Amino acid sequence: MSFEYSEKVKDHFRNPRNVGTIKDADATGRVGNPVCGDMMEIQLKVEDNVIKDIKFKTFGCASAIATSSMVTEIAKGKTLEEALEITRQDVADELDGLPPIKMHCSNLAADALHAAINDYMEKQEKGITQLGEDEYEVAVIGGGAAGLAAATISSYVGLKTVVFDGGQWGGMLNKFCPDKLIENYPGLTDKMTTRELTQSLLDDARKQEAKLVNEHVNDVEIEIDSDFKTLTTDSGTYKARMLVLASGSSPVKSGIPGEEKFAMDDGGIFYLTADPSRLTDKRVLVYGRGYNALSTAGCLGGIAASVTLATDEASFMVPDREMDRVKCIEGLKMLTSTTLLEIQGAAKIEKAVLEDQNEGERVEIIVDAVVLATGMVPNVGLMEKLGVEVDESGFVKTDKYQRTSLDGVYAIGNVASDIDLLVVAEAQGTIVAHDAYRKLRGG
């Protein structure tokens, strides 16, 4: 089917007016048509009931861009009541008409304008005032996959958002094996490494204008008579109406004799392999369970001089394709049903004592380093201080919307679940963002 656009439509498509975003916008309206995929967002700056500034973003066809451009031109300078009178037909008429097939699927710009005006009016009714420089609607503690997803989508739906991480952005994505290819993420047809995915998540967060703060949150206070939670870092304080706890997890100590001795002063004990090059040409024992142990051994292939992968279980309980990939690593030795009894050496690790559980036979192997992948524990320090309820395994209790026992406080990712999957972490972050939007904006 072919149709002809008017010259005005072509002009507003090729040279759209008022494209972009407004910093600290007073209101945001977003609409979309899931059939054709057109999505439109309009932001307003209002002074004395008059639209002083208006910007739009759209993901759609020429009609979507042209109508968004035109409606912003019509609305700028009008009172809110006057702007509410602008209809789809008004926009189409100003563009000298639209093809009939485009009237319903693309001319949503007036709807987005009305949504933005309604958003502003609802805020006024609820007494929501303009946020200060260090005041936010959503604050996320933790910059891993879950936290960055929550921050990105919160910003996308129009909530002023800040995310904190005092360590390395990406969390566990970069702590086990940053150069590992991601192969179990639905829809990710072009393989990328965890390091590349982290950068993509950061780029998305910045694109949506979430504020990224590379600092630890040292303290959180929740006052009963205040709408805000107060977060304290080394450089100052921040306030937020909604708090998202995405602080992740940390390696658990194994208690194996020799661990404490060699965990100090670069003695040869490792828990994570964020920088595999530190184990270049070393003889390494990786001891632990499941996917984390297997993945750690896999990322040392071609780097370490040799890798012994041992577990005290009968198998690693991972998919065959993961096991086959690790098995083919040159110089790799795998031991199941094997217990690590002791780590020995003088100033640095020299050998490890292992025991075959089936035969009861002990063996000593010469190693320069031991990576202990014996489990993770959720980082719940801040939550315990706040009084957030945790379960018997130490994870924060949440409902289906990831809400915790405290009003306005959410928990996502490894701090709230032992399902250690990237897609689950990002899904939880997305759920929280939309729930926070509903609670803050009454949607």
Residue 384: what pLDDT?
83
pTM exceeds 0.85, yes or no: no
Q: Of 143, 90, 135, nearest to 113 (Cα)?
A: 90
Q: What are phi and psi of 255, to 5 degrees?
A: 80, 10
Residue 319: what pLDDT?
83
Cα(176)–Cα(178) distance, integer angstroms: 6
Pairing of strands 50-59, 369-373: unpaired
Contact of 27 with 47, CB cutoff 8 Å: no
Query: The domain at 135-250+377-441 falls in which architecture?
Result: 3-Layer(bba) Sandwich (3.50)
The full 3-state SS of 262-289, as one line of letters, equals: HCCCCCCEECCCCCHHHHCCCEEEEEEC
Amino acid found at 408 = G
Can you name the residues that pair with 249 across neighbouring β-strands? 378
Contact of 155 with 209, CB cutoff 8 Å: yes
Length of the chain: 443
* 3-state SS assignment for residue 193: strand
Stated as kind and residue range, the H or E segment containing 341 is: strand 338-345
Residue with token string 């037909």: 89
Cα(402)–Cα(432) distance, integer angstroms: 6
The CATH code belonging to domain 7-126 is 3.90.1010.10
Stated as kind and residue range, the H or E segment containing 81 is: helix 80-84
What does DSSP assign to residue 157? T
Supply the residues annotated as catalytic: 36, 105
Measuring CA to CA, how many Å separate 306 from each of 62, 132, 146, 281, 283?
A: 59, 56, 34, 8, 5
Assign a CATH topology to domain 259-374: FAD/NAD(P)-binding domain (3.50.50)
What does DSSP assign to residue 129? P
Residue 1: what pLDDT?
46
Contacts of 129 (CB under 8 A, 6+ apart): none
Residue with token string 């035969």: 359
The boundaries of every CATH 3.50.50.60 domain in the chain are 135-250+377-441, 259-374
At residue 178's C-alpha, the angle toward residues 176 and 183, to 5°, is 95
Cα(269)–Cα(160) distance, integer angstroms: 42
What does DSSP assign to residue 90? H
Full pLDDT tens readout for the chain, 443 residues: 456 888 999 999 999 999 998 877 889 998 875 455 567 899 999 998 999 999 998 877 888 899 999 999 999 999 999 999 999 899 989 999 888 877 765 678 899 999 999 989 887 776 555 678 899 999 999 999 999 999 999 999 889 999 999 988 998 887 777 788 887 788 876 778 888 999 999 999 999 999 999 999 999 998 876 789 999 999 999 999 999 999 999 998 999 999 999 987 788 999 888 888 899 999 999 999 988 888 889 889 889 999 999 999 999 888 888 888 888 888 899 999 999 999 999 999 999 999 999 999 999 999 999 999 998 999 998 888 888 999 999 999 999 999 999 999 999 999 999 888 899 999 999 999 999 998 887 65
Stated as kind and residue range, the H or E segment containing 325 is: helix 320-327
